Structure 1
């Protein structure tokens, strides 16, 4: 969220004028995509004209959604009739206006900003550096590959004042672009990854490209680069003051020496500092690309003041970056290296290095597309041929119009196709046997289709978590709240079965205010995985007091005795701790009752070591209208008890009473914070907004075997299932040990097979169950959806007389979780 602006300020910043509307309404969101509306009343939509669409065409739709502020192109002819509440600001070029707004917001941020550019590795260095810095700092970083003329300003708008450091990526394809990015990013620390052939055709020479890229660093205090990259190193050393340059190298002679010793599945990096002190880092990879990228990140972290030990803690938690050199199982014991979004000479070089580092296979096979935006094609393809022959590639599949120039330079048997579809039509998985296959090509060739064709189908059960759907649900509930209302998200019980660490990480990116777990151990696990949000522990135990303090966790205190125990612990150890007071207004589970408030106030006075972070209560029946009177009584009692406590404090704790159901039913009682639980995971228990939420979880399995049975034959243990006519059954790879409830036996459960709902037949077994697929076309290996889009979790729960919470939390840890963004 940006620092708030008034329309009058926007006019001044973008050098525009107010066409219509008020100059005094608050703006705290800026968007360019009509799908990204969260807070319509305070959002400014910048109408950009793209190759395929014009933002001005979406203004009518956005106005209906409640958006009231628009930055438009002067003379665009927008009809403002019927939009009397709208504020329209006109300027010569909305894209320039967007960039000027970003530059203004960047000037308001006073902490370090890291700017990363180069031909390859920018996104990985950004992600890894962000993860390393996150061990010590609150880090903002540009999402995915937001490094363009539009992506950079959107990234800057995501920097908040609480962020201690920001990491931004800058990419260009022609002259005059970097100066615009540099004006916005204003990098205090620069990183130059390398120089390659990507986007070469936009420049007259590689020297011109170097000159343009390094404009990012004109105001940087320090510039990190690899001295072994001779051309870029010479340019930087010739054009920037020596005291600003921070170099690293495999060999002595640079600011930092980082030599590498590879082992089977990891590498040791020996760091020699300028003061000649030594430190050894361990990283979980051995390929040249990753080792270069991680050393850029290490040196940048050192330059920003991190200690080597802290950096190693970050390295221990490095996560893979999507779409970068991933290994997948292929046909007939082959391995597939997926590099389907890479397309320049430097990238090919690194990918081939990665390929060379894999275990030996019978053949090396390369799928390669035309090299796009590479400048001098003849020179580039000669180098491609040299690389392929040097790495002893046995077989090449070439795709494109230019790549056949390689035909006479490669080994016999290599084949070329004009497009990916032609290749796929002739691709036979059986021609591969124990091969190592590298697939690398430009995005527009769609080489992911090749990878999908070559991947071995993995049988088994998997829980897919759609993080975009989670974001959608989070934003849906945010629209029901006032802008200042904080959100605590419940990630107890393994985040309702979804996997607490990954979901907590995503919530941290969404800027949730608090997390809540059931037990101290759950909070410790999140801290150990790098989660820095405040965490409330609902059921702390006396024996966990040490870990509460050690891992900065905030316990719920629910009784005078527990308050006394925790207070004495803190006093004896000379500690202070934030706590949350549970007030019992009718749940009658845990919590202080109204007649205990006086005793509680005395305890608060006696133990100032305990700071009250919040007061809260649990509503008994917020999801049912039948309990409305009781819920309102609870809320009024909570307000009364809270007031009695806070009037005796010198500070104001947060108050929260509403759960997911309460946010919908009683928004007027949102107070300072709400607790978002089951709603985040796609279940609206009130039934009022079922269609507004998206299921985030899809539980899938596969068919292991299909059998044809005759009428009267029985199925499963105790012969509980019986065929009422001749038909077919399928055995699927999920059972009650996976969390598939045994109550789904004998037709109570249904699953989705090729778009058709089919019933469970017989008893659910420990590791599998059977379904009646009579009349449905299917084959062994087909995917079966247990729940997800098309098969409602709420309906399934109703079929066995339980609630969605139970089904979600029952999924066994042996079921693989897969997280994705669609």
Structure 2
């Protein structure tokens, strides 16, 4: 649908500061990095605690955007061709606009909330009903105060059913979301511990979420959560009392495995890979079979079953479609691929909304200059093919895609939409089988490949062909958790405080350029590496952020200069050597960082050096100090707080001496991850975030319960053996089996980074969610676990070395070390898989 500036101005109760009233708007933009349609986009600058979207107005104007909301004054004449609508609060204006848009539609709208399962239920509803309705739904898990409005804005006249999920993290938020979604059908999935920190108790959280269903015709939920059931009954009675005709007001549609309900579950029978669920509905026996056996999937499926019953779907169709449900991939995965390629695997569905998200993720990756998209037909878009693939072509052009491999009859028919794009190589195949036949004739080398396909195209076959073959041990890095942790630390900073993030030592074992690309996308201010070669690797991978080198060596000064890295200078000798290197080509004002020793006594200038240092810096035309910093020795330890304060005071005195000597200002920073949490007075101009980014924090700190686990190290059971009484296990015969035991050999050893000290019962791993001790010495490429107490274990089973349920800090305790050593010791031969939820 197309809106005009004057109409939007009226809807949001704004003031048109300047510009044409008749400019068209079809797209909303809240993130400057996700611009696709500049000529018809309205930019809504969101004002956050650490970043103000208004700062990107100039950049977007240069890129062709001509319609803006603003809560700031606009300098006269600076943007002569733009239309500006002044509002008090840009986020509220976004919500008002999309709420008005929602009211133009009179179709069934399903609203989903709860603690878990929202996205799966939404996607399964789509799978179950896509052949009956033209459906619009939230992309991925767009369920926030910003995500919900952007989801609802997708509604178009051709849509016949809408499915939106909603999440909140604090009281009062759901009222805004309800006015935007205005669901006619409600589903409350369950209640759990997620986001509890924003609420007084579980009942308050339930009641806040129930606001979403104030105007629904029906509310579907499970009666087996006692507090949820009690709160819903009270909410429902309140709705009925307020209704003019209580008999026609909101209906409750309940299900239960324990109590009387509209859908009374009689039995749940699990076999190897299916579950049969028998129930009574309106007194009649009904059943479904689903291809899952876990309790979460069973609960999600029953919610969907209730919806289909409410919609009057025939039982035979319900059973047929339920049995065809497929897994919902909740993440985008980034893996190593053949011939030095990177592979982004998003092959579970293909629609326009999720394609935009996947292309954004592709654009974040800077390690390869060439970007390839392997794309199937897009199903159920609601658009005519010509219009749909023209929009896809514009997306590929906007995101800088170099090659398109289209698979499917529809995209192949519309290939002319793509052939006219300058610099885009195209090849098309009617089917995945046709692509596979020609695979060896297609060159894939030094590029990032996005695999994006509807499930019916079975792109997992293509994924297997492209993935680099490595052994079974995998380190998974959750990029969404990493971004969450970054934002948690940013939330503790003053708006003026900048952030430097440490990506030294292969980013604590997580991977250098992959993590750096994400940090660059999220606009941190600085990166720091240990050695120049790490910085050169980042530059070669397309990282343009300022990079500080903490351990520069004279032999690498030429590389530092060539690749525009910024060295830490910690001695007069090093200062002189680096300046001499700059004098040869007469380079002026090269950025450096001055390290002060305030008590760590590792590297840095001491107080007696400051006078000489000040004079040299003041006189040198070749050097410019970008920052002055120091290291805290024990900021995490409450018993050392007096010493930390002493370090802070000494740093301020020393840096003041340097500042008075120089005719320009520089940044000052001393706070590390622990100090960001525990010593807010030491934020200064910039902080350095390291281990905290990866979810490790001191117990008792303000973020300890809020940080998310980032890394999970997985391996597999290679073989099971029964060991007779009296035999031994492993090198040196250190593992004793006095009474006999069952051992599992797993595919990880000290060459992968599993410390030998964890052998002989000190270390444990999770098998079938149970702890199994390491038996005997750790070998180079494998080790053995005592699984005698886990009778159901099988060869090929997954083994968790560390992760959310077995924290890396616990491994460090067993090994008598610190988590840093465990993380940085994971060998680079261990495959890294990056994923974004």
Give the aligned partner of residue 798 of structure 2: 783
Query: For the residues of structure 2 that align with 1:718 and 1:768, how far apart are their CA atoms?
Result: 15
Question: Conserved in 1, the CA contact under 8 Å of 2:499 and 2:686?
Answer: yes
Give the aligned partner of residue 348 of structure 1: 430
Give the aligned partner of residue 816 of structure 2: 801
Give the aligned partner of residue 637 of structure 1: 650
Q: Over residues 205-224 of structure 1, what are the superposed CA-to-partner deviations in whole Å (9 max), with x where a residue is unaligned?
A: x67778x859979xx9xxx9
Q: Which of 717, 720, 723 is the matching residue for 2:734?
A: 720
Q: Which of 574, 597, 601 is the matching residue for 1:562?
A: 574
Counterparts in 2 of 1:28-47, with a 5 A limit? Answer: 46=149
Question: Conserved in 2, the CA contact under 8 Å of 1:459 and 1:702?
Answer: no
Query: For the residues of structure 1 that align with 2:741 and 2:831, how far apart are their CA atoms?
Result: 32
Question: Conserved in 2, the CA contact under 8 Å of 1:616 and 1:655?
Answer: yes
Give the aligned partner of residue 534 of structure 1: 546
Query: For the residues of structure 2 that align with 1:194 and 1:771, how far apart are their CA atoms?
Result: 42
Give the aligned partner of residue 679 of structure 2: 666
Instruction: Kindly indicate whether residue 827 of structure 2 is the aligned counterpart of residue 812 of structure 1.
Output: yes
Query: For the residues of structure 2 that align with 1:34 and 1:526, how far apart are their CA atoms?
Result: 30
Q: Which of 512, 522, 525 is the matching residue for 1:500?
A: 512
- Aligned-partner SS, 2:655: helix
Q: Which of 617, 621, 625 is the matching residue for 1:604?
A: 617
The alpha-carbon distance between structure 1 residues 637 and 765, as it changes in their structure 2 partners (threshold 3 A), is same
Question: Conserved in 1, the CA contact under 8 Å of 2:774 and 2:786?
Answer: yes
Question: Conserved in 1, the CA contact under 8 Å of 2:475 and 2:830?
Answer: yes
Q: Over residues 140-184 of structure 1, what are the superposed CA-to-partner deviations in whole Å (9 max), with x where a residue is unaligned?
A: xxxx9999589979999x999xx9xxx999xxxxxxxxxxxxxxx
Question: Conserved in 2, the CA contact under 8 Å of 1:6 and 1:24?
Answer: no
| Deviation (angstroms), 1:555 | 0.3
The alpha-carbon distance between structure 1 residues 225 and 450, as it changes in their structure 2 partners (threshold 3 A), is closer
Query: For the residues of structure 1 that align with 2:557 and 2:673, how far apart are their CA atoms?
Result: 30
| Deviation (angstroms), 1:482 | 2.4
Q: Which of 683, 691, 704 is the matching residue for 2:718?
A: 704
- Aligned-partner SS, 1:357: helix
Query: For the residues of structure 2 that align with 1:75 and 1:806, how far apart are their CA atoms?
Result: 51
Counterparts in 2 of 1:284-683, with a 5 A limit? Answer: 291-292=425-426, 348=430, 351-358=432-439, 442-443=454-455, 447=458, 460-576=472-588, 577-683=590-696
Instruction: Kindly indicate whether residue 827 of structure 2 is the aligned counterpart of residue 746 of structure 1.
Output: no
Query: For the residues of structure 2 that align with 1:600 and 1:699, how far apart are their CA atoms?
Result: 47
Report the more deviating stretch, 616-625 or 680-689: 680-689
Q: Which of 723, 730, 743 is the matching residue for 1:729?
A: 743
| Deviation (angstroms), 1:347 | 5.7
| Deviation (angstroms), 1:225 | 13
- Aligned-partner SS, 2:817: coil
Question: Conserved in 2, the CA contact under 8 Å of 1:508 and 1:531?
Answer: yes
Counterparts in 2 of 1:155-166, with a 5 A limit? Answer: none
| Deviation (angstroms), 1:69 | 8.8
Query: For the residues of structure 1 that align with 2:89 and 2:676, how far apart are their CA atoms?
Result: 26
What TM-score do you get using the length of structure 2 for normalisation?
0.54
Query: For the residues of structure 2 that align with 1:780 and 1:603, how far apart are their CA atoms?
Result: 67
Q: Over residues 39-81 of structure 1, what are the superposed CA-to-partner deviations in whole Å (9 max), with x where a residue is unaligned?
A: x9xx8974864756567x65xx45538899989559999xxxx
Question: Conserved in 1, the CA contact under 8 Å of 2:485 and 2:694?
Answer: yes
Q: Over residues 275-316 of structure 1, what are the superposed CA-to-partner deviations in whole Å (9 max), with x where a residue is unaligned?
A: xxxxxxxxxxxxxxx9417xxxxxxxxxxxxxxxxxxxxxxx
Question: Conserved in 2, the CA contact under 8 Å of 1:6 and 1:23?
Answer: no
| Deviation (angstroms), 1:492 | 0.8
Give the aligned partner of residue 766 of structure 1: 780
- Aligned-partner SS, 1:601: helix
Query: For the residues of structure 1 that align with 2:811 and 2:793, how far apart are their CA atoms?
Result: 23
Give the aligned partner of residue 300 of structure 2: none
User: Structure 1: where are the runs of 5+ without partners?
Assistant: 17-21, 84-126, 128-143, 170-192, 237-245, 249-255, 259-289, 294-345, 361-438
What TM-score do you get using the length of structure 1 for normalisation?
0.55
User: Structure 2: where are the runs of 5+ without partners?
Assistant: 1-30, 33-43, 49-53, 58-66, 72-85, 96-137, 156-160, 185-199, 205-333, 335-347, 405-410, 442-450
| Deviation (angstroms), 1:525 | 1.4
Query: For the residues of structure 1 that align with 2:832 and 2:527, how far apart are their CA atoms?
Result: 21
- Aligned-partner SS, 2:426: helix
| Deviation (angstroms), 1:556 | 0.1
Query: For the residues of structure 2 that align with 1:632 and 1:348, how far apart are their CA atoms?
Result: 68
The alpha-carbon distance between structure 1 residues 473 and 591, as it changes in their structure 2 partners (threshold 3 A), is same
CA-based RMSD? 5.4
- Aligned-partner SS, 2:564: coil
Q: Over residues 297-353 of structure 1, what are the superposed CA-to-partner deviations in whole Å (9 max), with x where a residue is unaligned?
A: xxxxxxxxxxxxxxxxxxxxxxxxxxxxxxxxxxxxxxxxxxxxxxxxx6635x455
Query: For the residues of structure 2 that align with 1:567 and 1:679, how far apart are their CA atoms?
Result: 35
- Aligned-partner SS, 2:582: helix
Query: For the residues of structure 2 that align with 1:235 and 1:802, how far apart are their CA atoms?
Result: 58
Query: For the residues of structure 1 that align with 2:555 and 2:469, how far apart are their CA atoms?
Result: 47
